[in-house]
Amino acid sequence: MTESTQPNPRHRLSPLTCDAPGLRQSIRDALVRVVGKDPDLATPRDWLHAVSFAIRERIIERRVVTRRQFAEEDVKRVYYLSMEYLIGRMLEANLRNMGIFEVTQQALQDLGVDFREIARLEEDAALGNGGLGRLAACILESMATQGYPGYGYGIRYEYGMFQQHIEHFRQVEHPDNWLRYGNPWEFPRPEKTFPVRFYGYVVEHHRPDGETSCNWENGEEVLAMAYDYPTAGYERRNVNNLRLWAAKATRDFDLRYFNEGDYIRAVADKNESETISMVLYPNDATAIGKELRLKQEYFFVSASLQDIFDRHRQLEYPIEELADKAAIQLNDTHPAIAVAECMRLLLDEHRIPWDQAWTITQNLFSYTNHTLMPEALETWPVALMERVLPRHMGIIYRINHEFIEEVRHRFPGEHEFFRRLSIIDEEHGRRVRMAHLAVIGSHRVNGVAALHTSLLKQTLFADFSRVWPERFVNVTNGVTPRLWMIQANPGLTELIDSRIGSDWKFDLDRLKQFAPYASDEATREAFRAVKLRNKERLAALVHKRTGLAIRPDVMYDVQIKRIHEYKRQLLKLLHVIELYQRIRDGEDVLPRVVLFAGKAAPGYQRAKDIIAVINEVADIVNHDPAMGDRLKCVFFPNYEVSSATIIIPAADLSEQISTAGFEASGTGNMKLAMNGALTIGTLDGANIEIRDAVGTENIFIFGMTADRVSAHRAQGIPPGAHLDSHPRLRSMVEALRDGFFSNGGRHLHAEIARYLLEEDPFFVLADYAAYSDACAQADRLYQDAEAWSEAALLNVARMSHFSIDRTVREYAENIWNVLPEPVPPPCPESNKN
């Protein structure tokens, strides 16, 4: 298959119909011919697969049209390289974006099948940890919706994010065998297979023209095979492609079966090379120093770049024009080795001279940074790189050398400065700083929220920002309203449609027209009715998952995100303890459900301990008759995209309480606010921009600012000194310490109390009094249902800035320099039904 620009006239397409009878026929046919089942004997999962196959045919058709148009129009393409894509379920999202959700439901109903019943059987595609992976999925969807020629590249992990079970209050991880029943959404492309080399050595050749060229020889080869996941834009527009690579052993292994007598050993070796794409590392915001991780990174980067170079060649563009025809975005430093790989391909395969190759590379790449936290910054030991990727190590040395020469020239004598800028960290046993490679190899570097970008320039990249001030830009994150509003919250969608029509779905800026309805009593009442229904839906799910009964008629206060010290789940937990004690003391307290959800990295003991303590506190609270129905504390297990779509629309209060300066942006904060939850949060990440958008009266801001946090740390105040800043704080921490809430984990509770009193690296105690005040303020507003609903509706109407479409347009205009190329709608309107 090549990227031909001229479609053969004999290959004209005749699109499948999208009306109910046509879909019904396709679903029944797929059940028999693809799934291989008699409809009379089909299980719900058989029907799920049948409908998925019927829809897949229609998506791939649109993909073919989209690809043809891109080839004809000579477009510049965008390649998004990400180790993670947190997609969730695909059936409903594809149906909605294809504009055939209702008609397919109808077709199924005609066949006697309930859509909801089969849809919930689909496994989430959880090829990501959290915000970073979900952002990648939103960006792909938006590129398709807006018609940008965007391609996603990543890894087809055999096992995605682990499944979290709670056993005896603790997190237990189970493997996520998401491909067990096959996957109707993927198209295997065995012909798209590229060799990827590891280890070996470099041989230098001195050419007659005086240049030296290098050959990377020997070592081990693994094959990367493509699997394509078509991604539909909203309302039957473009369909873009996400290409995920799976590792396959080379044919060499097959030969070895015969040559070496040891057949069993040969097959075992084959397995080993295929482990590269076996499992997603479940770490969020921490670097993983494992050789296998480095191999995963290089594996998918090398395959993707070979594919990009191949497409460029098939389109008959000269290699010198690569950066005019392509832009490559690095999602954090995980794919940063691409800078060296691109140089290798240009130098060794295409024989381009160094300076020209370097110009192309810099123009091609740009890099998004997602954190300032030192433990998340990837560095690889030079010795490991030299062994696994010897040619790349040589290229990195040369990149570094040329770069340091350049700055030496511009900033003579500043030796400390050069040392800090160097790609090689000489202080911690010689390591390659991947962020430095990414900055030096890119023409633009962006942070993901205004505060984050400004802190990047002041701290992590202060030196680079002196060298290249114009290289650093901000692109505030966003989320897709298709999934996070229209699909997740049909009740709210209908309410908005009934007031301002449905244009806002294509252009979220039009949501602003909804703002005046915040002061309309009938709209507020309708909004409360929608919230109540969403809470009933969540309460049913909570009951199913945990056995706990929760009331739908109280405040739902949610903190849903990865468990991390800096995100401060302990701050919320202390508040639960405060409410518990106050109710026990006979105080009148606003009834509420506090819901936590999130996974802890399996090797992050403190985070796992936090989950255990939350669950043990919850157990005491939920079973204490003194609570009546006034306080329930839920730990919702196995938080994933599909559960987020149920929790978010039911929330009243959104907890965004990270220590200021640590959350690069946050995106859950956006999803919750656009569904009418009020934020209680610190001045961190995108919270600041959310406050500016919704208005200070419609958000509860508290706590130390990022500057205050730094100053506070410098002062070195012992955490225990804050115990008297709030009338109850001491007794709350003592209750924890003394094991009041412990159920076998006494030691654990004492340890958490000690940690707060003696270490508290994220200033939970220092911020507690301010937090408790802000919670009380929220409670007061909630008691005025009209005032609360007004504020909630203003949140909805004023969140348009946080549409991922705005984010993607900023990347396209300021970084990629690409234009949208929308494909005209395919089937006639009559098909829409």
Binding site for ligand GPW (CB under 6 A): 129-132, 135, 284-285, 332, 370-371, 376, 448, 477, 663-667, 685
Minimum Å gap between C-beta 442 and ligand GPW is 16
Strand partners, 653: 557, 678
Three-state SS at 188:
strand
Nearer to ligand GPW, 66 or 665 (CB): 665
Q: Phi first, then psi: what are they for 224, rounded to 5°?
A: -110, 120
Does the active-site annotation cover 671?
yes
The DSSP letter of residue 486 is I
Collapsed DSSP state (helix, strand, coil) of residue 315: coil
- Least distance between ligand GPW and beta carbon 438 (Å): 12
Q: How far is CA 689 from CA 371, 684, 770, in A?
A: 18, 9, 21
Q: What is the DSSP letter of 159?
A: B
Q: Which of 567, 568, 798, 801 is catalytic?
A: 567
The answer to whether 145 is a known catalytic residue is no
**d(Cα 726, Cα 738) in Å, to the nearest integer?**
19
Nearer Cβ to ligand GPW (132/613): 132
In this complex, which beta carbon is closest to ligand GPW, that of residue 18 or of residue 435? 435
If DSSP codes are grouped into helix, strand and coil, which group holds residue 777? helix
Residues 6+ apart with CB under 8 A from 502: none
Instruction: Please report how close the Cβ of residue 810 comes to ligand GPW at its closest, in angstroms.
Output: 14
Instruction: Identify the active-site residue in 24, 67, 370, 444.
Output: 370
Alpha carbon distances (Å) from 649 to 646, 698, 703, 787: 6, 18, 27, 19
> Closest separation between CB of residue 674 and ligand GPW, Å?
15
Half-sphere exposure of 605 (CA within 13 A, CB side): 4
Which residue, 139 or 224, is less far from ligand GPW as judged by CB? 139
> Which residue in the list 67, 197, 671, 726 is annotated as catalytic?
671
Q: Among 87, 192, 152, which Cα is nearest to 335's? A: 152
Whether the Cβ atoms of residue 153 and residue 228 lie closer than 8 Å to each other: no
Catalytic site includes residue 206: no
DSSP 260: S
Catalytic-labelled residue, pool 134, 312, 431, 561: 561
- Of residues 667, 669, 643, the one with CA closest to residue 655: 669
Q: Catalytic annotation on 295?
A: no
Given 667, 679, 682, 807, the catalytic residue: 667
CB of 335 to ligand GPW, least distance (A): 12
Chain position carrying tokens 């740390």: 713
Q: Hey, what amino acid is at 428?
A: H
- Decide whether 30 or 285 has the Cβ nearer to ligand GPW: 285
Residue number, 135 or 693, with CB nearest to ligand GPW = 135
| Residue 286 CB, nearest approach to ligand GPW (Å) | 7
For the chain, count helices (H), then strands (E).
Answer: 32, 24
Distance from chain centroid for Cα 134: 2
DSSP-H helix ranges across 260-290: 263-274
Helices 687-694 and 450-458: crossing angle in degrees, nearest 10, is 140
Contact yes or no for 397/387 (Cβ under 8 A):
no
- Cβ atoms within 10 Å, residue 716: 6
Q: 141 vs 332, which CB is nearer to ligand GPW? A: 332
Query: Minimal distance in Å, beta carbon 802 to ligand GPW?
Result: 11
Least distance to ligand GPW, CB of residue 716, Å: 27
Q: Active site includes 623? A: no
Closest to 156 in 3D by CA, of 113, 193, 209, 114: 193
DSSP state of 40: G
Closer residue to ligand GPW (CB): 88 or 200: 88
d(CA 158, CA 625): 46
What is the distance between the alpha carbons of residues 473 and 758, in angstroms, rounded to a whole number? 39
Q: Least separation, in Å, of the C-beta of 569 and ligand GPW?
A: 15
Active site residue 667: yes
CB of 357 to ligand GPW, least distance (A): 28
Catalytic pick from 562, 568, 728, 798?
Answer: 562
Q: How far is the CB of 804 from ligand GPW (least distance, A)?
A: 11
DSSP class of residue 637 equals S
Based on CB atoms, which residue is closest to ligand GPW, 147 or 685? Answer: 685
For 222, the token pair is 């693994």
Using an 8 Å Cβ cutoff, are 151 and 302 in contact?
no
Write down the least CB distance from residue 81 to ligand GPW, Å. 14
The answer to whether the beta carbons of residues 391 and 342 sit under 8 Å apart is: no
Nearest distance from C-beta of residue 450 to ligand GPW, angstroms: 13
Q: Which of 676, 651, 673, 615 is nearest to 537 (CA)?
A: 651
For residue 831, give the DSSP letter: G
Our measurement of the distance from residue 354's CA atom to the centroid of its chain's CA atoms, rounded to an integer in Å, reads: 36
Rounded Cα distance between 403 and 703, Å, is 42
Q: Please, which residue, 183 or 286, has the CB nearer to ligand GPW?
A: 286
**CB atoms closer than 10 angstroms to residue 506:** 14
Residue 46 or 663: the one with the smaller Cβ distance to ligand GPW is 663
Instruction: Give the whole-angstrom CA distance, residue 176 versus residue 163.
Output: 6
DSSP 695-743: -GGGSEE-S--HHHHHHHHHHT--GGGGTTSSTTHHHHHHHHHTTTT-S
Within 13 Å and on the Cβ side, how many CA atoms surround 695? 12
**Alpha-carbon gap, residue 230 to 187, rounded angstroms:** 8
Nearer to ligand GPW by C-beta: 459 or 498?
Answer: 459
Residue 609 or 663 with smaller CB distance to ligand GPW:
663
Sign of CA dihedral 26, 31, 36, 40: negative
Q: Any idea which residues carry the catalytic annotation? A: 370, 561-562, 567, 667, 671
